[in-house]
Structure 1
Amino acid sequence: MSGPTPSTLVLLTDLQSCAPGQKVRFLGCVDKYSITTATLRLTHNHPPSSPPRAAHVNIDHVLESIKRKEIDVGSWINVIGYVERRKEKGIFVQAITVWDAGNVDLEAYQKAVEARNLVA
C-alpha cells in the first residue's frame, strides 16, 4: 500500500538545512502577507538568543481554503509544504495545507519537536 509522502516535522529555524523538494511541517508566526505574490512571511524566534528567522511561504495552492485569521499578522499557523530553493536569498516553502495553530504553548512545542528529532 502506498500513499502520500509523509512530512518531516521541523522547527522553522531548521528549514535552512532541509533539502529542496523535502516535504516539511512547521509552525510560524505571520509577520507579513503579500497579496500580489500570495506569500506569507513567517517567523519564529527560536532559540531566543538568536535573531528570528523567516520563511517565505507561498499559499497560491491553498487560497480557496485559507481563513482570513490565518493570514493576519501575529497569527500562529501550521504549514505543510515543500522546501524550494530559489535564486533569491532566504527560505521558501510552497504550502499544500495551512491551519490555525490556536493558542499554542510555544515552549512545549519547541521541546516536543526537538525531542522527537533526537530519536528520529
Structure 2
Amino acid sequence: MSSGPVPSTLYRLGDLGQCKSGMKVRFLGCVDNYDVKGGALRLKHQYPASSPLSTVHVNIVHVLERLKRHELDVGTWLNVIGYVGRHERALFVQAVAVWDAGDVDVEAYEKAVDERKPCT
C-alpha cells in the first residue's frame, strides 16, 4: 500500500466544470487576472477555438511564496496542479503546485489532452 500523494488527472481548463469537488487535477491556463488581495489568479483558455472562452479561479495562497513575479503577469501560460472546489456554485481550484509553462506548444498540449480523455 502506497502512502504517497494522490496522482492528478490531466484536464482541459474548459472541462474542469465536470470534475467533482475534491478531485486532484492538472491543467494549463493563461493568466487573465491576478487578485493580489484575494491571492487568486483567473486563468483562461479557449479550446476548441469555436467554443466559448473558459476561465477558472485558482487560489494560490499556499504556493505564492514559490511563484516568480513574471508567473503572475497577464498572458503567462501556467501549469497548475490542485484540488477542485466549489463555493456558492462557483468553481475554483486550490493550487498545490504552479509553474511557468514556458514556450508551450498549445496545439500539441490540446492534442495530448484530447488523446487522454480522462474519466470523471
- TM-score band by shorter chain is over 0.9
Aligned to 2:106: 106
Moved >6 Å (runs of 4+): none
CA distance in 2, matches of 1:106, 1:18: 22
2:58–2:95 contact (8 Å) kept in structure 1: yes
Counterparts of 1:43-54 in structure 2 under 5 Å? 43-54=44-55
* 1:50 CA drift (Å): 1.5
Q: What's the Cα RMSD here?
A: 1.4
Shift of 1:51: 1.6
Aligned to 1:15: 16
Give ranges in structure 1 of 5+ residues lacking alignment. Answer: none
- Code of the aligned partner of 1:84: G
* 1:40 to partner: Cα distance: 0.2
Measured in 2, the distance between the counterparts of 1:46 and 1:71 equals 22
Which amino acid letter does the alignment assign opposite residue 51 of structure 1? Answer: P
Runs (5+) with no aligned partner, structure 2: none
Give the share of equivalent positions with the same residue, in percent.
60
Alpha-carbon deviations, 1:3-51, whole Å to 9, x = none? 1100000000010000000000000000000001001000001111012
Deviation (angstroms), 1:118: 6.7
